[in-house]
Amino acid sequence: MNWDAVIGFAELIGVIAIVISLVYVAAQIRQNSDIARAMIVHETSDSFMHFHEALASDAELADIYHRGTCGESLSDVETVRFQALLEMYMALLEDVDHQYKSDLYFEEEEGPEIIEYMAPKYRPLMSAPIAKDWWKTIGPHSVTPTLYKKMSAIMAKWDST
């Protein structure tokens, strides 16, 4: 019996086993990445749901939101509550933007960037006079410069139409 041939065959079997293991690990990593991406999208949806749930379950807050988005005057306390809604919403958008830029969100082959895609959803809130004032004074210090630039460009388009 040729021991060199036996050793060579054993090494070949070992290499094949390693390749199969690597393929399996790669498949597991891809599956875990897909699961993680799905969880991120779900958690984002859940966060938006909680934002809207707060409006739906609190008549006073819904009234403040409605009057604020219609340009009606708000008391000082109502203004603070409206601004808190703005802070909540911007935190959600910033999170989505970060996930999207990090390729952690769903993948789109074509179309606008995620913030532009979502713009119709947040237009009533961000077009309110109180929101525009907040955006100019507090916004630059409340969101990242990247999101501020994107949102400012979107809001400028709204103002021009």
Q: Say what the pLDDT of residue 105 is.
A: 63
- Per-residue pLDDT band for 78 (boundaries 50, 70, 90) equals very high
Mean pLDDT of 65-74: 92
CB 83 within 8 A of CB 138: yes
Residue 92's domain comprises 3-160
The contacts of residue 115 (CB under 8 Å, 6+ apart) are 93, 96, 97, 100, 147, 150, 151, 154
Q: Based on the structure, what is the number of domains in the chain?
A: 1
* pLDDT level of residue 45 (50, 70, 90 thresholds): confident
Q: Is the pLDDT of residue 1 over 70?
A: no
Spatial distance between the Cα atoms of 136 and 152, rounded to a whole number of angstroms: 9
Burial of 14 per CB tally in 10 Å (0-12, 13-18, 19+): exposed
